[in-house]
Amino acid sequence: MCATRATSRGPLRVGILGQGRSGLSIHARWFEQSPRKYKIVAIADLLAERRQRAEKEFGCDSYRSIDDLLGRDDLDLVVNSLPSYLHPPATIAALSAGHNVVCEKPAAWNVAQLDKMIAAARKAKRILAPFQQSRYRALFRKTLDVIDSGVLGRIVQVRISANGFARRWDWQTVQEYKGGNLLNTGPHFVDWAVCLQGFKKPDEILCAMDRANTWGDAEDYVKVVLKKKGAPVIDLEISSCDAYPGDMITVQGTQGGLSGGGSGLRWRYFDPKKAPKQKLSRKPLPGPSYCSEKLAFTEKSWAPSKAQANAFGWMSKQFYDHLYKSLREGAKLEITPQQVRVQMAVMEECHRQSKLSKLPAKGWPQGNR
């Protein structure tokens, strides 16, 4: 589905919707570092000072209305980094106008919305690339490598914890704008979860949500357990009231385990062939005593390179280098909307199980257009 309009020479010409923490600080800043592949030619934002800054810094055109940006016919790519509640409508508008689109997370908030976006991409024969850059996070890639090597045996459980202690009062705390820890931080880690379960919808989903330290009406505590036959149990937390957060990822396997986070991973495992031979005893153990033996564990560790330690820069590079190949050479997307559909199904079910009361809707402060 990827007949693109990418111009054949020079960097890809990009329009960015939104110039906030994502549109400016992640996407524009990355394009600045990749001038041979990408060039910012237009941005849209409701705020005049953000438009003026972009014009000055990037030498690009700026628009108040996203429709005016989408009306251009010289763009190879549009990045949708608008507030989350605008992801489906603005992405569909961009695809329908004939643009390839990178859509920030959360791509949508339910499967039906995402399906409309996928259908719009198919109809327009354009690329829809969900920005799930954490799939490229070095610690996650290394974890997958260790799991795939088999040394940990069968993986029984993976615990993912994106916890901290933080108070928050911006739009990301408001349900009306599709805020809350699940839709905001969740896409990074639910993506890991469904990746670890082979991108298949879990058989069972259990979710608890709460509001702890937030000014808005959306959750800032989420606990999710995913069960899938033949895959590890996933135990996922995204809590803003954890004063003693543990490791970001912990893998439990039949022959060993792994644990760690952004600054590094460690893992240890034993070789069952070299372990002491034991056999089941139904009689009380002599003494009395407990089962006791010495397993010879092999210990390993990994630390990110300097480039990988700059997680946002590293992940953006992997994502956009690959997207460049898709847009220029027709390479298949590595992160597909179909994979993200499973994430959407999980989130939809979590919200169904844990409805929180809502504040009255007020619209976006600067208007929708």
Ligand X SMILES: NC(=O)c1ccc[n+]([C@@H]2O[C@H](COP(=O)([O-])OP(=O)(O)OC[C@H]3O[C@@H](n4cnc5c(N)ncnc54)[C@H](O)[C@@H]3O)[C@@H](O)[C@H]2O)c1
Q: Which residues of the shown chain bind ligand X in the complex (CB under 6 A)?
A: 18-23, 26, 44-47, 50, 66, 81-84, 86, 104-105, 131, 133, 184, 364, 366, 368-369
Question: Least Å distance between CB 184 and ligand X?
Answer: 5
Residue 87 or 341 having the CB closest to ligand X: 87
Q: In Å, how far are 20, 60, 193, 237, 273 from 224, measured between CA atoms?
A: 29, 43, 10, 6, 36
Tell me: cis bond preceding 288? Omega within 30 of 0 counts. yes
Count of alpha carbons within 13 angstroms of residue 212, beta-carbon side: 18
The CA distance from 118 to 290, in Å, is 58
| Residue in the block written with tokens 């996922």 | 236
| Cβ-proximal residues to 9 (8 Å cutoff; 6+ apart), any chain | none
**Dihedrals φ, ψ of 265, to 5°?**
-130, 150
Question: Least Å distance between CB 223 and ligand X?
Answer: 21
Question: Least Å distance between CB 97 and ligand X?
Answer: 15
Residue 228 or 341 having the CB closest to ligand X: 341
The CA distance from 169 to 177, in Å, is 13
Residue 263 or 368 having the CB closest to ligand X: 368
Question: Least Å distance between CB 315 and ligand X?
Answer: 8
Q: How far is CA 311 from the centre of its chain?
A: 13
Question: Least Å distance between CB 147 and ligand X?
Answer: 24
Question: Least Å distance between CB 105 and ligand X?
Answer: 5
Residue 264 or 313 having the CB closest to ligand X: 313
Residue nearest to ligand X (CB): 20
The CA distance from 23 to 48, in Å, is 15
Residue 50 or 99 having the CB closest to ligand X: 50
Angle at the Cα of 94 (from 88 to 98), degrees rounded to 5?
140
Contact 321, 307 (CB under 8 A): no
Residue 76 or 104 having the CB closest to ligand X: 104
